[in-house]
Amino acid sequence: MCELLAMSANVPTDIVFSFTGLAQRGGVTGPHVDGWGITFYEGKGSRTFKDACPSSQSHIAQLIKSYPIKSEVVISHIRQANRGRVALENTHPFTRELWGRYWTYAHNGQLTDYQHQFPVSRYQSVGDTDSELAFCWLLEQLAAKFGDTAPPDMLAVFTFVASLAEQIRALGVFNMLLSDGEYLMSYCTNHLCYITRRAPFGQAKLIDTEVVIDFDKETTPHDVVTIIATRPLTVNEDWQHIAPGQWRLFRAGELVLAG
């Protein structure tokens, strides 16, 4: 299966440290060699980098590891293909517009008998993965329930997303990341965990490569940064595991809703 990575922070923050660990799992310490992608939100805009080759070998991934793009929300994915061929259009994350904002999504898992479960019209898949089709269906359900303008209560929106994720989970493994650029949601079927870093900050050591960082030297006492990953990325920190069927919603690094 694939692996996921995301960040929610209260100040623009780079994800170089965490992405360096994840990228190693794309061909060095893990089998996820069928492409990778990452999306950074910057205000109302976003920038996405994708490559159909392994993240451990990608020159574009090397750029991400060396260029500290500052963002408050990031979603990343390394792929081990099971539905859809190895191609750029099948690499995650996927992005669509709804309510005048970009929604970004990534999925880890495999669905079965899904082709007729996700009727879509407004949003169409570009590639041929179960993941992208499920994303298109999810957004259509949001538009159908809440209309063509953003509702004032976004917590209700993500609570509804959780109910949709539960329906998708009935078709197989569905670990999901979803963001509108402000909120970041994670839904777990089997493997997903997170850590929230805040003062007092300390050192962290990556599991997949010999890299250590002292966050106390890289942050201010007011910074709050939450990292979500399929598996823990560091060896010396206490990651919280999300139980199957549970979900978490973050905003500016803080947990705001859970189910």
Q: Which two tokens stand for residue 257?
A: 């809703």
Residue that has been written with the tokens 């309510």 in this structure: 99
The secondary structure of 105-166 as a DSSP string is: EEEES-BSS-TTT---SSS--SS--HHHHHHHHHHHHHHHHH-SS--S-HHHHHHHHHHHHH
The residues carrying an active-site annotation are 2
pLDDT of residue 86: 82
| CATH classification of the domain holding 62 | 3.60.20.10
pLDDT in tens, the chain (259 residues): 789 999 999 999 999 999 999 999 998 998 888 899 999 999 999 999 999 989 989 999 999 999 899 999 999 999 877 777 888 999 999 999 999 999 999 999 989 888 788 999 999 999 999 999 999 999 999 999 999 999 999 999 999 999 999 999 999 999 999 999 999 999 999 999 999 999 999 899 999 999 999 898 888 999 999 999 999 999 999 999 999 999 999 999 999 999 9
Give the relative orientation of helices 154-169 and 130-146 as an angle to the nearest 10 degrees. 140
* Each residue's pLDDT tens digit, 32-54: 888 999 999 999 999 999 999 89
Cβ atoms of residues 61 and 51 within 8 Å: yes
Instruction: Look up the domain containing 84 and give its range.
Output: 3-258
Give me the number of domains the chain comprises. Answer: 1
